[in-house]
């Protein structure tokens, strides 16, 4: 039986994804298939897979179906399941717009991190699609002393949860983190029983930072939306501008290797993430032909 499926390729600030449209949830995507699709030499190549499913068709999203028609079944590049991906939600929304399922304006997207509100801006002219803003919910700050270690150096980090776990460390130079080929060590291990995304952050100007990120299950990526949000939340606490205390929203510009994102935290704790999202290719792929699966 053929295992040929349709796919698209997209990215948000170069955090790239294979998009698998499957409204009725009939495509079997085991971890090995996801890893094969994301393999940059033997597959299509991506940081993760966006499995596009109607919420009513997926057991994990059924309870959210009344709020959100579409479920982002997100997988990391190694095939593991993830709660959320901020760049992924924007690319997911761009696909829904491209496919004609939604128009410009507001929509809701179900994720394992809850229902996210999305706003698709109208196109700003020929050849330019409007930015997409995702309501990322509230950051959780579990507290406790956390450290991360990379390239032989250990740094204090802030534990921030954006629907997935993050450890945010401020450094003097992004090169201090080394090549980030391997996941940075962290302590205590009990702080992140399922692993953690680690962000290394430098200041570039007031409320403007540069970031490198290691995403669990994917390695160092060109961008990370939830990571950008975690960084902005951590920076606001460090800078003494916690919106819950000042009563004013605070916005940070976050530069990642793949581009620039804007993060605004509001006094009620809700965080908005804004940036570009583009679809660059589409086609079909034969899953059985991928070397990781066929052996």
Q: Which two tokens stand for residue 105?
A: 């304006």
Q: Using DSSP, how many helices (H) and how many strands (E) does the chain show?
A: 5, 18
**Residue reference for tokens 């990391």:** 76
Whether 38 is catalytic: no
Asked whether residue 135 is marked as a ligand-binding residue, the answer is no
Asked whether residue 105 is marked as a ligand-binding residue, the answer is no
d(CA 76, CA 183) in angstroms, rounded, equals 14
**What is the CB-side half-sphere exposure of residue 226 using CA atoms within 13 A?**
29
Asked whether residue 25 is marked as a ligand-binding residue, the answer is no
The active-site residue out of 85, 91, 120, 134 is 85
Asked whether residue 159 is marked as a ligand-binding residue, the answer is no
The active-site residue out of 8, 44, 50, 224 is 224
Asked whether residue 15 is marked as a ligand-binding residue, the answer is yes
Asked whether residue 225 is marked as a ligand-binding residue, the answer is yes
Asked whether residue 161 is marked as a ligand-binding residue, the answer is no
Asked whether residue 87 is marked as a ligand-binding residue, the answer is yes
CA 65 to each of CA 53, 57, 157: distance values in angstroms, whole numbers, following the listed order: 11, 9, 37
CA 55 to each of CA 19, 74, 100: distance values in angstroms, whole numbers, following the listed order: 16, 13, 17
d(CA 211, CA 8) in angstroms, rounded, equals 28
Asked whether residue 215 is marked as a ligand-binding residue, the answer is yes
Asked whether residue 40 is marked as a ligand-binding residue, the answer is no
d(CA 188, CA 196) in angstroms, rounded, equals 12
d(CA 152, CA 206) in angstroms, rounded, equals 29
- Give the residue numbers annotated as catalytic, written as ranges: 85, 224
Query: Which positions make up the binding site for substrate?
Result: 15, 76, 86-87, 164, 197, 215-216, 225-226
Numbered residues of the known binding site: 15, 76, 86-87, 164, 197, 215-216, 225-226
């Amino acid at each position: 039986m053929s295992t040929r499926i349709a796919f698209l390729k997209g990215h948000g600030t170069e955090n790239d994804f294979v998009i698998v449209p499957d409204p009725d949830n009939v495509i079997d995507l085991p971890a090995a298939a996801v890893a094969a699709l994301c393999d940059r030499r033997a597959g299509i190549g991506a940081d993760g897979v966006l499995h596009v499913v109607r919420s009513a068709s997926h057991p994990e999203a059924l309870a959210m179906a009344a709020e959100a028609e579409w479920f982002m079944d997100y997988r990391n590049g190694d095939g593991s399941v993830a709660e959320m991906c901020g760049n992924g939600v924007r690319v997911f929304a761009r696909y829904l717009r491209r496919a004609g399922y939604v128009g410009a304006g507001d929509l809701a997207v179900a994720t394992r991190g809850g229902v996210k509100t999305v706003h698709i801006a109208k196109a700003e002219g020929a050849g330019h699609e409007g930015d997409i803003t995702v309501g990322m919910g509230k950051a959780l700050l579990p507290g406790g002393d956390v450290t991360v270690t990379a390239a032989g150096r250990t740094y204090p980090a802030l534990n921030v949860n954006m629907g997935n776990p993050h450890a945010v460390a401020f450094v003097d130079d992004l090169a201090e983190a080394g090549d980030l080929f391997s996941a940075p060590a962290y302590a205590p291990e009990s702080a992140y029983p399922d692993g953690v995304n680690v962000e290394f952050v430098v200041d570039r100007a007031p409320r403007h930072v540069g970031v490198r990120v290691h995403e669990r299950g994917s390695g160092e990526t060109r961008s990370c939306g939830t990571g950008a949000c975690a960084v902005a939340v951590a920076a606001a606490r460090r800078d003494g501008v916690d919106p819950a205390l000042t009563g004013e929203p605070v916005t940070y510009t976050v530069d990642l290797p793949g581009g620039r994102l804007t993060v605004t935290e509001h006094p009620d704790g809700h965080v908005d993430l804004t940036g570009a999202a583009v679809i660059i290719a589409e086609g079909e792929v034969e899953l059985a032909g991928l070397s990781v699966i066929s052996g």
